[in-house]
Amino acid sequence: MSARDKIFNALINNRDDYISGGQMAADFGISRNAVWKNVKSLQEQGYVIEAVTNKGYRLVKCPDILSPELIKKELNPALSGPDIEVRAEVTSTNTVLKETASLHPDKDYLLVAGRQTMGRGRLGRKFYSPDGDGVYFSLLLHPKLTGAESQYLTTAIAAAVAKAIEKVCGFNAVIKWVNDIFVNGKKVCGILTEAVIDFETAGLEYAIVGTGINITTPKDGYPDEIKDVAGALYEHGKAIPGVRNSLVAATINYFYEYYEKLAEKPFLEEYKKRSFLIGERVKVIGNIAAPDDYYEARVLDIDNDLRLVIETPDGGIKTLMTGEVSIRKI
């Protein structure tokens, strides 16, 4: 842990009291001057830290900013989780991690951003990622999974995000097969998993699981092409302070509970429980470029291989694989 992280933790764990610079210098094996420099850097990030002669430093206010320290603070202490980096703006957290994956050959790595200029969605779509209204994060993993099993990563993170939204915000979050999270009938989160296969072993070289959560409705609303579907957890300017850090941390905590035994599909029960298509009538679109070419069906279940089990109008039973079709609720 860096000296800055140690100082931050000391301040946040003693929020009501002053901690002397000398004490922190002795505890962390650094000079008083180094303590002061790190405090200054935290202040520059927007933390309000009071400095009183003969008393020391006291954390008065945390800004509502994305911060690796605040995310770490809410992570399960027993978790040997990812290294964490926060950036104000990136092209796409998935793209950046793909370009820099070789820098993190062994360790999991979490990149969190406040804005994406080229956020990517599934099927080559864009993912609208405006500043201040969402949180966008990707997790670089080195899982021991086959290519086919890599789908479990998506399902596990979907279950984890839904649980995190419920825990942190108190909203009922449901999942639209395969990986869209809905709250109050609107899509508030999308997930894009990308994996690189090692052809020699047929296993994964690495995987990147990217999640975008719409926290607040943008001031001028969503762009026309997504406004019927997209929604956010809160109205503009009405999010609870610190919710972005808390949602990232809670998602990571829940995800890693599943990740440890991913091949056993520990997420399945939670995923199915929250899947709102089960029992519903849907349109099944074979080719997304031709959305008028569809047939109607009723969703019976999601099977243990995460396929959608449907009943067609002629009474036949079919199973649909992810990526094969697009589903619209009727």
145-162: b (≥16 Cβ within 10 Å) or e = beeebbbbbbbbbbbbbb
Q: Are strands 109-113 and 134-141 parallel, antiparallel or unpaired?
A: antiparallel
Looking at beta carbons only, is 4 or 122 nearer to ligand BTN? 122
List 119, 206, 247, 248, residue binding ligand BTN (CB under 6 A): 119
Region 36-95 residues binding ligand BTN, contact defined as CB under 6 A? 92-94
Q: How many residues bind ligand BTN (CB under 6 A)?
A: 19
Beta strands in the chain (DSSP E): 48-52, 56-61, 83-87, 109-113, 134-141, 173-176, 180-183, 186-198, 203-214, 281-285, 294-302, 308-311, 317-320, 326-329
| Per-residue contact string for residues 93-112; x = within reach of ligand BTN by CB under 6 A | xx------------------
What token pair was written down for 208?
Answer: 């990147």
* Least CB distance to ligand BTN at residue 138 (A): 5
The SS3 call for residue 185 is coil
List 37, 79, 121, 142, residue binding ligand BTN (CB under 6 A): 121
Cα distance between residue 204 and residue 208, in whole Å: 11
* Least CB distance to ligand BTN at residue 268 (A): 21
Region 183-222 residues binding ligand BTN, contact defined as CB under 6 A? 190-192, 210-212
List 8, 28, 109, 116, residue binding ligand BTN (CB under 6 A): 116
Under rule CB under 6 A, residue 140 binds ligand BTN: no
Of 201, 197, 211, 151, which Cα lies nearest the Cα of 178? 151
Q: What is the contact surface with ligand BTN in residues (CB under 6 A)? A: 92-94, 116, 119-122, 125, 127, 136, 138, 180, 190-192, 210-212
